[in-house]
Amino acid sequence: MFERQFRHTKRYQEIVNTFIRYGFGYVLYRIGITDRDLSKKDESTDANENLQNIGRRLRYTLQDLGPTFIKLGQVASTRHDVLPREIITELEKLQDHVTVLPFDHVRQTIESELDDELEHLFVHVEPEPLATASIGQVHAAKLFTGEDVVIKVQRPGLKPIVETDMEILVRIGNLLEERTEWAKRYRIQAIIQELSFSLRNELDYLIEGHSGERIANQFQNKIGVRVPAIYWDFTTQKVLTMEPISGIKISDIETLDAEGYDRKLLAKRLSDAMLTQILDEGFFHADPHSGNVYILPKNTIAFLDFGEVGRLSEGMTYHISSIIYNLHNGDTQALIRTFAKMDLIDEKTDINAFQRDLGALHERYANLMLKDMSLGKVIIEIFQVAYHHAIDIPSEMAMVSKTILTLEGVIGRLDPEFSIMKAAEPYARKLLKRRYSPRRILRKSMNEIVENVEILSGLPKDLKDVMSTLQRGRVGLDINVKQAERFLDRFDKISNRLSFSIIMLAFSILMAGLIIGSAITDQSTVIWKLPIIEIGAVIATLMFILMVITIIRSGRM
């Protein structure tokens, strides 16, 4: 316990000293972390210092503090909705400045993780690394079965450092949200939690391997996309052994042209691959910069490094598709409805002002050709408008916008005429059609009927329990009129829809009985000279159409 406290104190002081060294002492004083004496030098600096210089100093600070803070900066760089563009531009330049790990440490980690001597595991491991980073180091090697491989080895002692940093960051985040309004508004703790989740995934190479394999399975039956295979017998949490990829970096335009590659085809394949991951699968490579995308023969796209991936629920994928589709059509009212369906708009939101600002944004882009529009930038500007109206954007959507923006930068060098906006619209339209397919609507409607029947079947007992509790005086109610009206209105709608569904079900059973009875007795079902079955079929069909229209108009699919 004492050792842990000492480690925290020592690291905490190191963090504070680094921020002071780069001129952030006054900021630390304002949030109550340091004394005023340590901030006097910073107070004398130019108050009008531009944001780019602040961003540059912040980048140097985070780089000096190591992997946890580098990752913090990278996570913050995705939040275009809350941070100024100049600071984000600097944070996007964050790179690992680390020394090469001695090969003795590499050997020790491999032997410890794979539980054998290096010479028994590999024919040869190249001592000089192919690449180095703050998390791990990559070496070329050869298996006894003859395959060439690359081994990614995690730096020793990294996990305790990261855990210490995360505990300190959580404490600082709590302090910031307690003492400053901007920290609450920027949801600092949410960013720290996102950082913690991302770092823990990156420190587990088993997760990275499975992520790569999952994306590989998305393209199992498609040509033009490649993901390196994982050698699981030589992979653990700290050692990742995989197939080597020897190709041309996608940013090396001169070599691609010299080798005769079709850059327009490469742009389309890369776009299709990423849009498939985001809008079809909901699981995607979240960092497709030029260092993680290589070109192989036959215009094949190869993805590398799956330490940072994005995950989207079915509902979130639908909402993102709705935003893209409505952007393409310039429908600002539909955009607002999408935000409302995501439960991001509350009674405090000024809907008219929000729509006015979205309309102004649309007018700015109305006369631009699709090829001249950046989907990533437009989405980010929408998020900034939303943020201005106190609408919090989910971190998943922020990651998607950052991924699309990165993708547009890479594709823009391949084919300046290519439009991600135009390419994404068919994917979004296909997803929306699939969501409103009759089969899916019918399945969801039946599920809702069953769920509502279960709720109502238990309602008498629940009401009895509530009344008994109230009679004993154990519950105090504090419901204002507005809440009561909303609750009763919602309950009334549920009751009406359930009643309608039950009536329709009973009517359908009755009609089925008439049809079966008519078939068995071989008699007509004409009553009072009216064809009952035919009329019943028409009524049932109309009732079904009415129910479907009601569900769709409710927006609660």
Going along the chain from its start, the domains and CATH numbers come out as 2-96+160-201 (no CATH), 102-155+204-244 (3.30.200.20), 246-435 (no CATH), 438-554 (no CATH)
Average pLDDT score, the chain: 79
What mean pLDDT do residues 26-43 have? 62
What mean pLDDT do residues 288-307 have? 92
pLDDT at res. 188: 76
pLDDT at res. 144: 95
| Residue 2: pLDDT over 50 | no
pLDDT at res. 6: 59
- Contact of 15 with 65, CB cutoff 8 Å: yes
Specify the amino acid at residue 407. Answer: L
Confidence of residue 482 (pLDDT cuts 50, 70, 90): very low
Q: Is the pTM of this model over 0.75?
A: no
**Contact residues for 115 (Cβ-Cβ < 8 A; gap 6+):** none
pLDDT in tens, 250-259: 989 999 999 9
| Residue 249: pLDDT over 70 | yes
Q: What is the C-alpha end-to-end distance of the chain, expressed in Å?
A: 52
- Binning the chain into helix, strand and coil, the percentages to the nearest 5 are 65, 10, 25
Specify the amino acid at residue 114. Answer: L
| Residue 497: pLDDT over 50 | yes
What mean pLDDT do residues 132-155 have? 93
pLDDT at res. 242: 96
Confidence of residue 44 (pLDDT cuts 50, 70, 90): very low
**Cα–Cα distances in angstroms (integers) from residue 492 to residues 1, 93, 389, 547, in the given order:** 58, 55, 32, 16
| Residue 530: pLDDT over 60 | no
pLDDT at res. 46: 46
| Residue 487: pLDDT over 70 | no
What mean pLDDT do residues 251-276 have? 94
pLDDT at res. 233: 96
E strands, 187-254, in order: 225-226, 239-242, 248-249
What mean pLDDT do residues 303-323 have? 89
For residue 230, give the DSSP letter: B
pLDDT at res. 332: 81
Backbone φ and ψ for 141, nearest 5 degrees, come out as: -155, 175
Q: Say what percent of the chain tops pLDDT 70.
A: 69
The C-alpha atoms of residue 212 and residue 242 are separated, in whole angstroms, by 10
pLDDT at res. 406: 86
pLDDT at res. 99: 78
Helix (H, G, I), strand (E, B) or coil at 57: helix
